[in-house]
Structure 1
Amino acid sequence: MTPHGSEEPLIVAQSSKVTLENPEYLEKHLFCMTAITTDVLEIVDIDEERESVKVKLKLPDKFLNEVSNEFGSHAVLINAGPFLEKMEQVSYEHGLHLIKGLVDYEDFNINYSSRIHSFNEGNPSLFLKKEKYFEYQNEFRLVVLNGEAEEDGHFELEIDGLNELLTVVSIDTFLNSEMEFNLKLQKDNKED
């Protein structure tokens, strides 16, 4: 166990895994995606004149092995920036409280007091934590903290113009091809 506000162990001992559950948390609506972050991209070419960079997707072996067994037959590639802007706008228009972010993976065999404290306080950051075993998923989550579900339990939110931001590919194409992307470089305006 670790004291609150510290990750240094207070007590080191053999213990069983503790599972904390709040029935209210099970009623929240999560949208989970794999994030394509810089650590899975390899630079192929930099074009300074066009201020762009060509990158190749290099997914880790564990991701390649697990995803083909765990997920469906297709992948949806989403233009993340405009998608998140649309989600923020639609959430605001519907009075929805939304949290979003990359998942933080922790060893749930270690009972960090910060996680227990967050649970006890009802801190929504808990929705962005997951067992370290799943780290290969590199997950990004959107969590709707309020809003009414349909009778069958699902949550529906219409987002205009979404088709323009999506590309559907077969999972085989996504996992087995050497997909390349052109990214626009953004100049850093910081002064040293």
Structure 2
Amino acid sequence: MLALVTACGTAPMMSGSGQMTPPDGKAYAIVALTFDSWDKDTANVSFVLQGPDGTHEYFAQAMTDFIRDAGDIPDAIGKLHLLTLTPGHYVLPSVWARWHDGSDTIIFSNHVVNIPLNQQFDVRAGQVVYLGDIHAKLNYQPSVAIVDSTARDMNHIKVIWKVPDTSNIQRLPLQPLQVPATAAH
């Protein structure tokens, strides 16, 4: 059974020293989901996560979600997800993307694609890990890549999540890839 997770991100628990501290017996995984699309209104992407607690889908919406970058750098379209996880092995099998290309013909203008990721990671209780940025390009030939957006995402954690000390966040980057999409039916 696939659980859809669309609620706003949960504020991380923090220790007295200002570091993120997961609930007892849990781990935190931080992953950015960003995208480029000409459709600034209805485009959305999601990644699927399979693990000890089942299968869940996490979304980013063009109209509402952003990741705050530092200074005058434009914010990224997407969402920085804070996942509270049971210790164990996790699989990110795919990314889904949905957008409208702006043409007048509804039949040909709505697009849905599934992009394989085939990524895996493990977490232990008490760990706080940063997995990187799953970045989808939805124009022309849709594709997905794993990119290093550590500086931007740490800025978002400090400024938006109000976490003053990010020194305990372990970088556990997903494997770099560049994958074209396949159309979903």
TM-score normalized with structure 2 length: 0.23
Which structure is higher in helix share?
A: 1
Q: Comparing both structures, which one devotes a greater share of its residues to strand?
A: 2
Higher-Rg structure is 1
Relative contact order: is structure 1 or structure 2 higher (C-alpha 8 Å, sep ≥ 6)? 1
